[in-house]
Amino acid sequence: MTVLETVAALREWRRESTAKVFFVPTMGALHEGHAALVREARRLAGMEGRVAVSIFVNPLQFGPGEDLERYPRTLQADLALCTAAGADMVFAPAVNEVYFDDRSIKITESSLSRVLCGASRPGHFDGVCTVVAKLFNLVQPDEAVFGKKDYQQLAIIRRLVRDLDFPVAIHGMETVREADGLAMSSRNRYLNPDERAQAPALRRALLKALAEWRDGDSEAFSLEESVRDEIARTAPLARIDYVSCVDGGTLQPVDGSAGQRLAPRVIALAAFFGKTRLIDNIELPDD
């Protein structure tokens, strides 16, 4: 596996590549969820394609007071994971290799980022869009793989590709979970033992709402309240940021007063355990 640290080296690697490139962008601190994304890229690439991974803690997507400085950086372990999962190349640049000190242009998303995580993290998705656009320009992938755990991010990246005409096919992969249902996340390591014991309640609450949906409860407000009540009952350490039933494409809240089964729907949530903010979601299929 090739490890590159500079834009010049990456451009040279890309010029020499005649095969299709399948890309997995990450911020490092990789875990089995990331490994699954790389393995999926390897499967899509087959024997002929090439799998590229980026490891870059993007400062533009962290707001004031967030965990940029303490975000885990485990490059050597990350490289070992990428090798085992089948990556051909890892791009692991320093910040000053990606951004000029006097940078003055960024990409702003003005619709899908106004709700859910974007409502409580202003500017976060502008940072995501800016870095993903830069990485797409540098890596020039044919296809890219993202996880569905951050459903909002996936929807925004699909919109980025559509609106700016990036010739990149986007694949969304199901969330990889711990044995107790907790969505795998680099931030799970911040949880203390009591918080970690209660965190799977997020998934259980979403599954309870899914069961109610399948039993005929189509009211968004009712499903949201079910999730909130279940978390409050079983995870008293959790402080809910939001629980919202939204349209899976636009991310706009679903009108619960209509009493209609509109598909696709997604229930998305974010909750704090101490200072650690966790996200999860569940799709409500029209079945």
My answer on whether 135 and 84 are in the same domain is: yes
In one letter, which amino acid is 227?
A: V
- Between CA 212 and CA 53 the distance in angstroms is 39
8 A C-beta contact, residue 74 and residue 29? yes
My answer on whether 198 and 274 are in the same domain is: yes
Q: Tell me the angle at which helices 201-214 and 220-234 cross, rounded to the nearest 10 degrees.
A: 150
Structure tokens given for 104? 């003055």
141 Cα distance to chain centroid: 18
Is the pTM for the entire model greater than 0.85?
Answer: yes
| pLDDT given for residue 187 in this prediction | 93
- Tens of pLDDT along 37-59? 999 999 999 999 999 999 999 99
Domain that holds residue 90: 2-173
Provide the pairing of β-strand 238-247 with 265-273: antiparallel
| pLDDT given for residue 258 in this prediction | 46
Give the sheet arrangement for strand 265-273, strand by strand: 238-247, 265-273, 276-284
My answer on whether 217 and 262 are in the same domain is: yes
Please report where in the chains the tokens 């009591």 appear, as a residue: 194
Identify whether 169 is part of a domain: yes
My answer on whether 18 and 123 are in the same domain is: yes
From 173, 205, 237, give the residue that closes a domain.
173
Does 34 participate in catalysis according to the annotation? yes
My answer on whether 137 and 249 are in the same domain is: no
Identify whether 120 is part of a domain: yes
8 A C-beta contact, residue 130 and residue 107? yes
- Tens of pLDDT along 264-286? 789 999 999 999 999 999 999 87
The CATH number covering residue 234 comes to 3.30.1300.10
Residue 4: strand pairing partners:
91
From 149, 173, 197, give the residue that closes a domain.
173
| pLDDT given for residue 259 in this prediction | 46
From 133, 148, 173, give the residue that closes a domain.
173
- Tens of pLDDT along 232-269? 999 999 999 999 999 998 999 886 544 444 447 899 99
- Tens of pLDDT along 138-172? 999 999 999 999 999 999 999 999 999 999 999 99
My answer on whether 132 and 73 are in the same domain is: yes
